[in-house]
Amino acid sequence: MHKLTISILLFSMPILLLAQEKDTLSLGIQNGFFNSKRTASVVGIEIIGYTGAMVMLNNLWYKDYPRSSFHWFDDNQQWLQMDKMGHAMTSYYIGVVGIRALRWSGLSERKSVIYGGILGLSFLTSIEVLDGLSAEWGASSGDMLANISGAGLLIAQELLWKEQRMMLKFSVHNSLYAQYRPNVLGESWNERLLKDYNGQTYWLSINLKSFGGKESYVPSWLNLAFGYSADGMTGGSQNYLYDNDENPIPEFERQRQFFLSLDIDLTRIKTKSTFVNTLFGAFGFIKIPMPTYEYGTKSGLKGHFLYF
């Protein structure tokens, strides 16, 4: 379900843009009063959106496959857990949308954080149920743990600090592996963006000034980022020796990759332009290319002048 997971994340970005507020350090507008009309609008839009998404997923993804009783499927060893990172990030950012929407409605702070923050978890849990009822797949305990982790990271920070000091981020580059299995890893760049885990990196980007205190001389927008990726994968749990046309595929070593880099938190950069502030907030999930150290479990330590 990796293509679906990241597609949901990218689909939520326009909603983030519309929800972006003037105070880019918070997740939404807290008006300080309950607005029943706004709340009804938010709940109505969420119900319609949820229902529409479930119908669309059923028609596009599940209806051509036989149904089954609910069951679990262990996919925790596939793709060196890169798909789990995508689940956590999706749960996190759909939760961001939920919190912003409920704050805009004037719901209390705690209720906005808790109810809004579990929006992504609720949505992705529904997908796991659909997986569990399909004979082709099955519900994944690893996916559920990742979904809970993403929502938990979001909610815990809002309740503790009332801001996101640690953000999940994403970066991507073309890898050389998609050419050998384009049906699985993507034929075009757009498909590879969604399918090729070899080119994806997920980051935990930590704001330095928020932990250093107001007296710190560190710029408010400077972050330290820890990344995770995987490399050398032409299949989920193992690599393939031949493609669909029986052409040989080179033998690649599968490895985990860990990264240390600087990052820029766009949401903490204030300008006089509302449009620019909104743009920064909407695309704050993207890891900015910066000098980076990489450690591969097979390739060892190396540096990048700029890593995407």
DSSP assignment of 220-253, as one string? TTEEEEEEEEEES-SSSSS--SB-TT--B-----
- Give the strand order in the sheet containing 255-264: 166-172, 200-207, 222-231, 255-264, 290-296, 300-307
Give the number of other CB atoms < 10 A from CB of residue 132.
17
Element (H, E) at 280: helix 274-282
Which one, of 167, 168, 192, lies nearest residue 179 by Cα? 192
Summarised one tens digit per residue, pLDDT across range 22-38 is 343 345 444 556 777 78
Summarised one tens digit per residue, pLDDT across range 208-238 is 999 987 778 899 999 999 999 999 999 999 9
CB 135 within 8 A of CB 68: yes
Q: C-alpha angle 202/57/54, rounded to 5°?
A: 100
What lies within 8 Å, CB to CB, of 168 at 6+ separation is 88, 89, 92, 93, 150, 153, 202, 203, 204, 205, 285
308 residues of the chain, pLDDT tens digit each: 444 544 454 445 444 444 444 343 345 444 556 777 787 888 888 788 778 777 877 777 788 889 999 999 999 999 999 999 999 999 999 999 899 989 988 889 999 999 999 999 998 999 899 899 999 889 999 999 999 999 999 999 999 999 999 999 999 999 999 999 999 999 888 888 888 999 999 999 999 999 987 778 899 999 999 999 999 999 999 999 998 888 999 999 999 999 999 999 999 998 999 889 888 888 899 999 999 999 999 999 999 999 99
Tokens standing for 104?
């805009």
Strands in 151-287 per DSSP E: 166-172, 200-207, 222-231, 255-264
Euclidean distance between CA atoms 40 and 110, whole angstroms: 18
The backbone region for 45, taken as left when phi is positive above 0, alpha when psi lies in -120 to 50, beta otherwise, is alpha
